[in-house]
Amino acid sequence: MTATPGLGTPRLASPDLLRSVFRRHAAGVAVITAGGDAGPVGFTATSLTSVSAEPPLLSFGIGTGASSWPAVSRADHVGVHILGEHQEELAATFARSGADRFGEGTAWREGPEGVPVLDGVPAWLVCRVVGRVPAGDHRIVLAEIVLGDTTGPGRPLLYHQGRFHGLRD
């Protein structure tokens, strides 16, 4: 490997290098929900990706050690919620380990296919899970959009450098 002037000191691949690079990558913030045997589950995700327009498919990653994974691993349908700038606290709640994610302070209802749907989000989708692909200590979940709503309030919430941010004009 040859050093390129102005690029600093290259580091070998590692979990820390991956985390460091992706802290510099701004990402939209979503909450993924599913119905579980013991009640609804959900988690904050920044790995949401559009996959295909025809059929309409998306993907997201989830760690196999995550508390939501057992329910997501068995779910036929999931909810995908795009969070708004006004929902930093909601994003933090769904990201925090051990938090009462569907307790007081989280406005939600049971939606189509029994999927928990969060209130007040700029957009939400109900999706049918069509695949779960092993990827290291995670699974990439592929899901086909069944229905959704894009008429909610607000501008998108972003995640960058380990913090939540709003868009600037």
Low-confidence ranges of the chain (pLDDT < 70): 1-6, 169
pLDDT score recorded for residue 96:
95
Per residue in 98-146, pLDDT (tens digit) is 999 999 989 999 999 999 999 999 999 999 999 999 999 999 999 999 9
Q: Considering only CA atoms, which of 141, 135, 116, 138 is closest in space to residue 126?
A: 116
For 136, counting Cβ atoms within 10 Å of its Cβ (0-12 exposed, 13-18 middle, 19+ buried), the class is exposed
pLDDT score recorded for residue 3:
58
pLDDT score recorded for residue 167:
87
CA distances (Å), origin 50, targets 47, 54, 88, 92:
10, 11, 23, 23
pTM score over 0.85: yes
